[in-house]
Amino acid sequence: MALVIDDHLLLEHLVGRLSGWTAQQVRDSAVYTTASWYYRVANAAVHGSGSGSLSGRIASLPDEEQRALRSKIASLPGSIGLVGPRTLVPIMVALRTTRRLNYLSAEALALAVTAEASIIVRTDSPLLRDACAALHVEYRLVDAS
Amino acid sequence: MATTLNLDPELQSVVDRARVLARERGELLDGPGTPPSDGLSPAIRAAVADWLDSGDYDRAVAEIVADDPDLQTQ
């Protein structure tokens, strides 16, 4: 069993915050994410500033604890699968969908097809959902913890 | 969860080749891995949870993708 998780779920997975059905699925599955979703997490974590940012929130914590989090974001743990464009781009361009998928959606669908994985997301993407349905890729929107 | 794909022959051929290459490159996982959250303090976990729950993460992502349609949730 394999899963492709979106950026929200990736972040929650990285800090062990998943619960219930989602946590069980993640525990029992090979877990992948896409470069696009990983990029969103890493970019938001690194470039935010001010009290609402991640760096602002952790600024008062010990340096060692901050480094542990930054390390996980800067170098994604090997237990999370990340398949590169050499593999996925040929599939992305071979996908035939009723409406054109953007890079993020095409990458997610190509990854799911390659890994024979289901896609689970916190944020619904109607276009990706429809494309998954056409190829019989399981797509599930999960509620927030 | 399980997925039984419905791919046309042309796409199936591309996917079959990609799987072989992905396996050769070590990109495919053999099964569940160790939890990636080991080594993080409760305070760090709480800070990330607050970042998500407050909507600040979503706002940061909205800024990042605003000018990049290829990174937006469609």
Cβ contact (<8 Å) for B71 and A103? yes
pLDDT at A145: 53
Residue A23, min C-alpha distance to chain B (Å)? 10
Cβ contact (<8 Å) for A61 and B64? no
pTM: 0.94
Q: Where are the domains of chain B?
A: 41-74
Give yes or no for a contact between A4 and A51, defined as CB atoms under 8 angstroms apart.
no
Cβ contact (<8 Å) for B64 and A8? no
Is the pLDDT reported for residue A101 higher than 90? yes
Taking the alpha carbons of B28, B34, B39, B41 in that order, is the dihedral positive or negative? positive
Which residue from A125, A137, A55 is spatially nearest to B71, judged by alpha carbons?
A125
Q: Which parts of A76-125 fold into alpha helices (H)?
A: 85-94, 103-115
Instruction: Measure the CA dihedral A27/A10/B33/B12, to 10°.
Output: 100
CATH fold, domain A2-45+78-141, is Rossmann fold (3.40.50)
Residue-level pLDDT, tens digit, chain B, 74 residues = 656 788 899 999 999 999 999 999 999 999 999 989 888 999 999 999 999 999 999 999 999 999 899 999 98
B12 SS3 class: helix
Cβ contact (<8 Å) for A83 and B28? yes
Q: Which of A66, A88, A94 sits opposite B10 (nearest CB)?
A: A94
Give yes or no for a contact between A94 and B48, defined as CB atoms under 8 angstroms apart.
no
Q: Which of B1, B60, B74 sits opposite A138 (nearest CB)?
A: B1
Task: Compute the distance between CA of residue A120 and CA of residue A6 in angstroms, rounded to an integer.
Answer: 7
Tens digit of each residue's pLDDT (9 = 90 or more) over A22-50: 999 999 999 999 999 999 999 999 887 77
Which residue from A132, A129, A141, A93 is spatially nearest to A113, judged by alpha carbons?
A132
Mutate one of A22, A32, A38, A54 to test the B interface: name it (highest B CB count within 10 A).
Answer: A54
Cβ contact (<8 Å) for A30 and B35? no
